[in-house]
Structure 1
Amino acid sequence: MIIVYVLVFFTGNGSLKPKLGIDLQGGTQVTLTARTPDGKAPSKSQLDKAKQIIEQRVNGLGVSGSEVVTNGDNLVITVPGKDGRQARALGQTARLYVRPVEQVVAATPQKPTTPPPGQTVAQAIAEAKKLRQAPKTAKPDALVAQLAKTDCDPKTVDPLQGNDDPEQYLVACSEDGKEVYLLAPQIIDGRDIGDASAGTNPQSLGEWIVNVSFKNKAKDFWPDYTGKNVGKQTAFTLDSRVVSAPQIQGAITTPSTEVSGNFTQATAKDLANVLKYGSLPLSFKSSDAQTISATLGLASLRAGLIAGAIGLVAVLLYALLYYRMLGFLTMLSLIASGVMVYGILVLLGRSIGFTLDLSGIAGLIIGIGMTADSFVVYFERIKDEMREGRSFRSSVPRGWVRARRTIWSGNAVSFIAAAAIYFLAIGQVRGFAFTLGLTTILDLVVVFLVTNPLVVLASRSNFLSRPEVVGLGGVAQVAKERRLAANRSATLEKESAR
C-alpha cells in the first residue's frame, strides 16, 4: 500500500482521482470520413474491417472506455475527456512503407492554394499522383523539379495521404514539414510488421523511438538489405509522409529496427499501436473534435457510489453484530482493500488510460462483496472447529487450512469468468470484467496477508480470544454442552458395565 501511494503522490503529474468514462464525464468525438481513390462510397466490408482494426487499437491502449460506431459511410470515435488527439491517432490510416531515399532538400514555403471549385477527392488524388509520383521504370530526375514546388505545410491536407502507389517513385514531406524527399519504390510493406512497441533510445537521453520487428519475407530481407546499403538513407513513410529517414550505419543482423523521429512518449505509443494492429483498408479525413456531454452524468455516479456505500455499511453492521471482534477485523480488511483499489485505479488511469465507468463501479461492488464472502467462509470454518470442542486459539490454524482451499477455488472461478468476459466482450463490459478481476486478485491478497494474520494475532490474546469477544460464545456453549453430554454418556456406560 505504501508503494502504491508513493507512486500516486510522487510520480507523474496526473490527477489524484481515477479517470471517469464517457458515461460519467463526457468525451471527445471525432468523425472519420472515408476517402476512396475513385471517389465512390466505401463498401460495407471495408468499413467493417476498418472498424475492427480501430477497435483492436482501442484495446491495445488498455481499458480506455473508447467507443467506435459506424454511421452511414463514416466511423465515429469517442474517447473520454477533452483531448481529441487520441481519437485522431486511432483513425490514422497507418500505411507504412520502407523506401530508399534518392534525394532530400529543405522544403521551401509555398503560397496557399485552394482546390478548383467542384474538384472531387478522386480528381485531387489523381492530380497529386501526376505531380508527385512516377513509375519505377521512369527516371527519378523527372520528379526532381517537383521537390521545390511541393507544399510541406503540416496544416495542409495531403490528397495522397494513405493513397500513394508504393510501387512508384514518390515526392513526400517530412512530418514537421522541414524537408522534402524523393523516394524510390517501397522495399518493405507495413503489412510485414510483426510487432511494434514504444521505448526510449538507450544511446540518447530521453529520445522516444518505436521498435519494429518484421515478419514474412521482410524478416530475411532487412538484414540482407542493410548489409548491402551501408551509408545510404532509408525512409519510413506513414500515410505518405516521412516519419524517419535514418542513415544505415551498419548491417542489422536482427529482423527488427528502430524508427526515430520527433516523438513524444504519447506519439511514440500511438504510432506503435497503429502499426501493431495493421493499416486501415481506407484513408480517412477526420472532422474537428467535438465535446459531448456525459450519457449518464455525475448523478448516476453519485447514485452508484451511494448504493455501494449502503451495501458496504450493511455488510459491516451485520459482521459486527454477528462476529463482533472478527467483524471489526472484517471492517479493517475491507477498508484496506478499498484503499488499495482506489490507488491502483489512479495509477492505471495515468499509465494505460483506464477509465472508470458505471459498469466498472458495478464490478468493484461485486468484487468487494466477494471479499466479504471469503471472510464468512474463514470464520465459519473456525466455528466448525470450535463446535468439535477446540478452543478459539487451536481452531484458527485448523480452520484456515480448511478455508483457504475454498477461498482459492471460489476466487479462481470468479477470475476465470472475469477473464473470459474481458477477452470476449467489448466496450463497457470489458470495464466491468477488468474491475471484477482486479478486486478478485486483491481479495486473495487481503485475506492471505491482512485478515488471516490479524485473526492469528487475535487468537494469541487472552482477551480477544475469549468466545464472547469474538462473537463465538454460542458456539463455545454448544461445544461445552456436547462435551458434558459426552462425559455423562461415558459415565453411564461405565456404571452400566459395572
Structure 2
Amino acid sequence: MKTKARSNIIFIVTVVLIALFSFIGAKGVVIGGYRVKSFEQLITKGLDLQGGVSVLLEIIDKEVKPEELERTKELLNLRVNKIGVSETVVTTEGNRRIRIDIPGMYDSQGIVDALSKTGKLTFKDPEGKEVLTGSDITKAATQFNEYNQPVIGLEMSEEGRKKFADATTKFVGQKISIFMDEDLLTDPVVEGPITQGKAVITGNRSVEEAKRIAGIINAGALPLEVKAASVRTVGPQLGANAFPNAVKAGMIGVLVVFIFMIAYYRLPGLLADIALTLYIILVLLAFSYIGVTLTLPGIAGFLLTIGMAVDANVLIFERIKEELRTGKSIRSSVDSGFDRALSSILDSNITTIIAGVVLYFLGSGAVKGFALTLIIGIVLSMFTAIIVTKFLVHTALNMGIMSKPELFGVKRG
C-alpha cells in the first residue's frame, strides 16, 4: 500500500509540473515582480517568420585564411550591431562568404552600404587624439595572465612601437581607448610606459569577450574588402503571416498525434502523450538556451522529431503487446517490451543524427537550422521515450491502474 500511495503522489506531482511548465511556456508568467517570458518571446525567429533582410557578403580576395574569415565576421558583427538591430544572426558560409540576417529591417541598400565599408581601428589618448591605427598592430591574441585571467596581447610594427612608447610614457595612469570607427571596444588604463612594442590589455570580463575584441583588432589591422553576393528581403506581412500559420499547423499535427496514441494504445498512449508534452517543453527550452534561430525549415525539423518520438513509443508499445499475447504478466511484458525495442530505437535515431550532423556541417543558412533542430529534437526524443515514458508506465503499474491487458489494446481469449 505504501508503494501504491507513493506512486500516486509521484504521478500526480509529475503531471501537475508538466502542465504548469506547459502553461508558463505558452503564456509566460510574472512571479514576485520577475517576469518569465513565453517560448514565443524567448526563441529568436528567422527572417521567414518575421521579415527582414538577408545579406550574403563575399570577400573579394580569392585566398582567405580561416582566421581572416573569422576576423571579418567579428568586424561585420560589430558593424551590424552599430546599425542598432537586435536578434541579428551573423554566420560564415564556405571559405569566403558571410551571411547576415537582420530581422525587422527593410532598407537593403543602406544596410549593404554600411556593411561593405572596411572599417577603421584607432587608439585614442585621453584628449581624443589618434595615437595608433589598425595598420600599426601586427597581431592581437587572447592570453592568460598569472592569475589565469583572460587578457589581450598586442604586438606592434616598428612605427607603432615608437608611437605607443610616446603615448604610454605621456599618459601613465590615464586611459588609452580603442575604437572601431566610433564604437568603443575597450579603454584600458596605462600602468606604465610600454616601449618594447608589446602590450597587454587587462580587464576583460570573459574569455569570449577577449577573443571578440582581439578578433576585431586583428580585423582592423587586416581589413578585407567585401561585396554583396546576394540580398534577399522578406516583407513584414509575409513574415507576420508565416509564423502563426506554422504554429497553427504544428498544433494541429501534434493534436492529431495525441488523439491517435490514445485511440490506438489506450492508457499507455495517454502516458506517451504526457511524455511527448514534456518533450516539447524540453526542446523549446533547449532552443531558447542555445540561441537557435527558428525558421520555417526549423519548425519542419522540430515537427519531424515529434514524429520520431512517437515512432519510438509505437515500437515500445508494439513490443509490449507482442509479449502480452504470449501470456506473460503485464509487468514482465512491459520490461521485455522496453528492452527489445531499445536497439531498434537507437539504430534508427543514431542514423538520423549522423545525417543531421552531415547536413549541419556541409549545409548553410536554412539547412543548418533544419539540421540543428533535428539533432536537438532526436536526442531529447530518445530521452523522453526511453526514460520518461518508461518511468510513467512503471509508475502507473505501481498505482495499479494498468492491471488488465485490455488497457494496452490486447484481448486475451
TM-score exceeds 0.5: yes
User: Which residue number corresponds to residue 365 of structure 1?
Assistant: 303
Higher percent of residues as helix:
2
> Does the C-alpha gap of structure 1 residues 43 and 186 become closer, same or farther in structure 2, counting only changes over 3 Å?
closer
Which of 2, 12, 18 is matched with 2:43 structurally?
18
Percentage of pairs with the same residue: 26
User: Which residue number corresponds to residue 13 of structure 2?
Assistant: none
Residue 247 in 1 paired to residue 195 in 2? no
Deviation at 1:406, TM superposition (A): 2.3
> Does the C-alpha gap of structure 1 residues 278 and 333 become closer, same or farther in structure 2, counting only changes over 3 Å?
farther
Q: Distance in 2 between matches of 1:47 and 1:295?
A: 39
- Secondary structure in structure 1 of the residue aligned to 2:408: coil
Which of 174, 178, 182 is matched with 2:131 structurally?
182
> Does the C-alpha gap of structure 1 residues 56 and 395 become closer, same or farther in structure 2, counting only changes over 3 Å?
farther
Q: Distance in 2 between matches of 1:456 and 1:264?
A: 46
Amino acid at match of 2:367: V
Amino acid at match of 2:52: G
Paired residues for 1:23-34 under 5 Å: 23-27=48-52
Paired residues for 1:210-289 under 5 Å: 211-212=151-152, 243=185, 244=187, 246-247=189-190, 257-258=200-201, 271=213, 274=216, 281-282=223-224
Preserved contact between residue 138 and residue 221 of structure 2 (Cα < 8 Å): no
- Secondary structure in structure 2 of the residue aligned to 1:189: strand
Q: Distance in 2 between matches of 1:435 and 1:277?
A: 32
Which of 354, 357, 361 is matched with 1:419 structurally?
357
Residue 299 in 1 paired to residue 241 in 2? yes
Residue 407 in 1 paired to residue 345 in 2? yes
Preserved contact between residue 143 and residue 152 of structure 2 (Cα < 8 Å): yes
Which of 435, 450, 461 is matched with 2:388 structurally?
450
Q: Distance in 1 between matches of 2:48 and 2:143?
A: 32
Preserved contact between residue 356 and residue 372 of structure 2 (Cα < 8 Å): yes
User: Which residue number corresponds to residue 327 of structure 2?
Assistant: 389
Deviation at 1:416, TM superposition (A): 1.9
> Does the C-alpha gap of structure 1 residues 180 and 275 become closer, same or farther in structure 2, counting only changes over 3 Å?
closer
Amino acid at match of 1:311: G
TM-score of the superposed pair, with normalisation by structure 2: 0.64
Residue 336 in 1 paired to residue 285 in 2? no
Paired residues for 1:38-117 under 5 Å: 45=62, 53=70, 65=89, 77-81=100-104, 93=118
Q: Distance in 2 between matches of 1:88 and 1:43?
A: 16
Which of 233, 236, 256 is matched with 1:314 structurally?
256
Q: Distance in 2 between matches of 1:248 and 1:186?
A: 24
Q: Distance in 2 between matches of 1:295 and 1:65?
A: 21
Preserved contact between residue 77 and residue 87 of structure 1 (Cα < 8 Å): no
Q: Distance in 1 between matches of 2:219 and 2:384?
A: 38
Alignment gaps of 5+ in structure 2 = 1-17, 82-86, 158-164
> Does the C-alpha gap of structure 1 residues 51 and 20 become closer, same or farther in structure 2, counting only changes over 3 Å?
farther
For residues 253-309 of structure 1, give each alpha carbon's deviation from its aligned partner in whole angstroms, at most 9, with x where no partner exists. Answer: xx9954559x999987864664688976535799xxx99634842323233233323
Range with bigger deviation, 383-392 or 331-340: 383-392
Alignment gaps of 5+ in structure 1 = 35-41, 95-160, 163-171, 204-208, 219-225, 478-498
Deviation at 1:431, TM superposition (A): 0.9
Deviation at 1:359, TM superposition (A): 0.8
Preserved contact between residue 211 and residue 256 of structure 1 (Cα < 8 Å): no
> Does the C-alpha gap of structure 1 residues 425 and 271 become closer, same or farther in structure 2, counting only changes over 3 Å?
farther
Deviation at 1:323, TM superposition (A): 0.6
Q: Distance in 2 between matches of 1:65 and 1:183?
A: 31
Task: Report the aligned-residue RMSD.
Answer: 5.6
Residue 436 in 1 paired to residue 379 in 2? no
> Does the C-alpha gap of structure 1 residues 329 and 12 become closer, same or farther in structure 2, counting only changes over 3 Å?
closer
TM-score of the superposed pair, with normalisation by structure 1: 0.54
Q: Distance in 1 between matches of 2:35 and 2:217?
A: 29
Amino acid at match of 2:308: M
User: Which residue number corresponds to residue 119 of structure 1?
Assistant: none
Deviation at 1:234, TM superposition (A): 11
Deviation at 1:428, TM superposition (A): 1.1
Q: Which has the larger radius of gyration?
A: 1
Q: Distance in 2 between matches of 1:422 and 1:278?
A: 30
> Does the C-alpha gap of structure 1 residues 408 and 182 become closer, same or farther in structure 2, counting only changes over 3 Å?
same
User: Which residue number corresponds to residue 143 of structure 1?
Assistant: none
